[in-house]
Structure formats: C-alpha cells, structure tokens
Structure 1
C-alpha cells in the first residue's frame, strides 16, 4: 500500500514536469538516508510499468570512512548497478578548510562529484531525493536568509555536465518516506557529519512544524504558492516540461 501511494505521487510529478524520457540513463544519488533509498526503490518499481524505457544506476559518494556495505546488498537485491565513489570531502571541509558552517561547501563538493561521475558513467540524468518538505523549507530559507523568492526546480539542466537534474519525489511528504523506511526495513546509513541535526535547514524544519500547529494548512499553502504559476513562476509546469 505504501509503495502504491509513493508511485502515484511520483508518476504525477514525472508527468507534470516530463522528468523521464525514452532511453534515459538515470543515476540516483544514493546517500544512504531514508529519502534517497526510498527514491531508488520507487524508481525501480516504476521502471517495471513505465511507458518510457530507461536505465537506472545508483551512485554513493563516500566522504571518508563510511561503511556502505548495506547499500551494496540493497542495490544487488534490487538488481540496480551500484557505484561507490571514494572522496576526501570530509577532509577538505573539516580538516583543510575548517569550515564553521560546512553545509554550503560540502553540498557544492558533493554535487560536483556526483555529476562528474554520473557523466563519466554515461548518464544523461541525475535523480535526487528531495521531497515536498525539502521544497517548502528551501522556499522559506531563500526568503529568510537570502531575501529572494526561489526554490530548487523539479527539473533543471546543468550545461557544465550536459546533465538534467530531476526530483521525482517533490509531491511526496516526508512522513511517507519515514513510513516506507519502516515498512521495508531500509538499510539506513547514519549521517556521519558532525553538523547533522544542527543546521539552518533543521531550524527551518522545526519552525515550520511549530507554525503548522497554529496554522494547520501552512505547509500546504506554501507548497501551493510554489506551484502558483500565475504569480510566482517558480514551478511553471509548461516551462519546466520543455527540453532544457
């Protein structure tokens, strides 16, 4: 039942934003967290009945010293080719740069490494596990911290790598990935980052949770604003569906 609901929401996003096309080779950025594992599981199930034929692989970036053997087993069981890439991201961020606010640099390095390896492996698309809650949090964070009204897109083109970045779970609430993680006993890899749980995103997540108690439809209304093409033009379906 959980997978049926996840597939329904994912198929809606794929159709709304034209995320998957015939003969795509898609690399899933598999961090080992509940969201990325859920995404891989969804796409493998979707692959079975998708009207478009596409290939699927998983890429995990090891920042240094993480045992990802459970992910090897998980991908083998799903029959998805798995590539673990050893990196020195942890050393660069914390030992060399000694970043007090490491998230931005870490994200930049991870994006670069993921896209670079996806390109080398012959992929034309990279799928990321951002969900509806991530979108709402990012939407507010750009306003609070940058003075902009913006959010990541369900689909965007990276000309540097000739890759299209897709986010098939943008219609899925985070509670659904938590439920899937419990039901399917996903092999979650604990986040090794020392900043985990102490980030601006975590603060925003907690603020939204608090506000939602007083304004029960707050999260849904914020997500609706993202999709309000008549006013904000952030997630304009007609524009995003076009080949970028």
Structure 2
C-alpha cells in the first residue's frame, strides 16, 4: 500500500491536484478502481500537506440487480460520508431509447449526475479512478479510431459547472489495483450492466495484453511517449514545406 500511496502522492504533486480547503467527492461506482481510490485518499488525507475534505458519491442507475449494501458498509467503516443519487438512467437507455450502443450515452448521463451532485454538496473537485491502463487504452483508441494523438488529462476544469476533475491513480497500473483490493479485503460490486465487457475498450485491453507478451515494457514506453513533449516528432506540413525554401542555389 505504501508504494501505491507514493504514486498517488506523486501524481497529486506533479499535477497540483489538491489545494488547501478542497472538498473532494470521489465517484464511487463500487468497482475495484473507485473503491481503492477512496480507500487510498482516506489514508493520504492523514498526512497530506494540504488539508481537504472527502466524501463519496454513488450514482444509482436504477438497475434492479445492483445491491449497494457492501458499499454503504465500506464507507461507514472508513468513516467517509457517502451519498447515493438515484436516477432513471438504465430505464431511459435500455427501456425507452433501447440503445444498441449504450456506453457513450450512459457515461455522459452518469457524469452529468455525478457533477451535479458534487456541486449540490458543495464540492469543488471530483476524483475519478482512471488508472494508467485507462490512460494508455484511451491514447491508443484515439489513435486507432479517431486518427489523433490524445488521452484524458490528469486534471480537467469544467468551466460551465466550475468544477475540477482529478485523477490521482494515473501512475498506477490496473494489476496493482487488483492486488491491493484483494490484500486489503475491499468490497467489489459486480457491474450488472448488460453491456459490461462488450466494448471497444475491452477489445483494446485484450490487444495490449497480447502486445505486452511480445514487447515487454510496452506500457511504460507508451506512457513515455504521452509525456515526452520534447521529442514529439509529427508531421507539421507548413514547417516541412519550408525546408526546401531555404535550399542554396
């Protein structure tokens, strides 16, 4: 756990994620990533040089199979205020709209509900549990499917809502999260969503897993490429066209 807290602290310091007096809401889905994030931030809170408040928000999509009891007990055990926001997102997506590809709309609606709840609770920041695997997967998906080099930022400011999104686990690999969740006996709620696991992101996970067998250290190399602005070598058409303009005759 000390190693994870060290990486958590490094990301917070590298990207200036937390300031004195912040009230931070953790988006708590019940999955391994968000549960560990809340657990780690609660521990970090004890020695953080910047005092901050912490709470957890769970967006209840309205799935009948979802039992939040383990999550409620978990937040009570670690003494973190927990707020459950009930919505009709599942009904809208699956029953009313009957979306064939529901993930994008679902994520957008859940984000909106989470941000609104955080503002209503007086929070100025929302902590999300995206980890280093998510960073890499998003980078590759953007390149493969959108033709651009892009991934999400460790810190994002939503101007319309005047709220900040922070991602303290961006230096932590998923395998380490999985191991720590097991070692610390943290609860994990199985995602009952019908679309769970059947996504392009899951396909990307499997592709990276295959590539890693052939190229050890590939994930570290991709992270290096994402953060290495000094050696970004892409085609700037205007700059390249000017090279021959300076030729000697």
TM-score normalised by the chain length of structure 2: 0.91
Alpha-carbon distance in 2 for matches of 1:17, 1:184: 27
Alpha-carbon distance in 2 for matches of 1:7, 1:187: 19
1:232–1:68: structure 2 CA closer, same or farther, 3 Å change rule?
Answer: farther
CA contact (8 A) 1:226 1:232 kept: no
1:168–1:37: structure 2 CA closer, same or farther, 3 Å change rule?
Answer: same
Q: CA deviation at 1:229?
A: 2.2
Alpha-carbon distance in 2 for matches of 1:99, 1:38: 31
Residue 49 of structure 2, aligned match among 48, 51, 67:
51
Alpha-carbon distance in 1 for matches of 2:81, 2:169: 21
1:150 equivalent in structure 2: 150
2:107 equivalent in structure 1: 107
Residue 22 of structure 2, aligned match among 10, 24, 41:
24
Deviation track 1:145-191 (CA, whole Å, cap 9, x = no partner) reads 11111000000100111100000000001011101111111111110
Matches within 5 A, 1:7-18: 7-18=5-16
SS, match of residue 190 in structure 1: coil
2:196 equivalent in structure 1: 196
SS, match of residue 29 in structure 2: coil
Between the two proteins, the alignment pairs up a number of residues equal to: 231
1:186 equivalent in structure 2: 186
Q: CA deviation at 1:94?
A: 1.1
Q: CA deviation at 1:220?
A: 1.0
1:17–1:232: structure 2 CA closer, same or farther, 3 Å change rule?
Answer: farther
Deviation track 1:196-243 (CA, whole Å, cap 9, x = no partner) reads 11110000000000011111121111111111122459xxxxxxxxxx
* 1:61 and 2:62 aligned: no
Alpha-carbon distance in 1 for matches of 2:118, 2:148: 31
Alpha-carbon distance in 2 for matches of 1:125, 1:51: 17
Question: Where do 5+ consecutive residues of structure 2 fail to align?
Answer: 234-249
Q: Tell me whether 54-63 or 220-229 shows the greater mean CA deviation.
A: 220-229
Alpha-carbon distance in 2 for matches of 1:69, 1:84: 11
1:230–1:116: structure 2 CA closer, same or farther, 3 Å change rule?
Answer: same
Matches within 5 A, 1:1-244: 3-64=1-62, 65=64, 66-232=66-232
2:244 equivalent in structure 1: none
1:104–1:129: structure 2 CA closer, same or farther, 3 Å change rule?
Answer: same
Alpha-carbon distance in 2 for matches of 1:199, 1:207: 13
SS, match of residue 48 in structure 1: helix
For the aligned residue pairs, the C-alpha RMSD in angstroms reads: 1.1
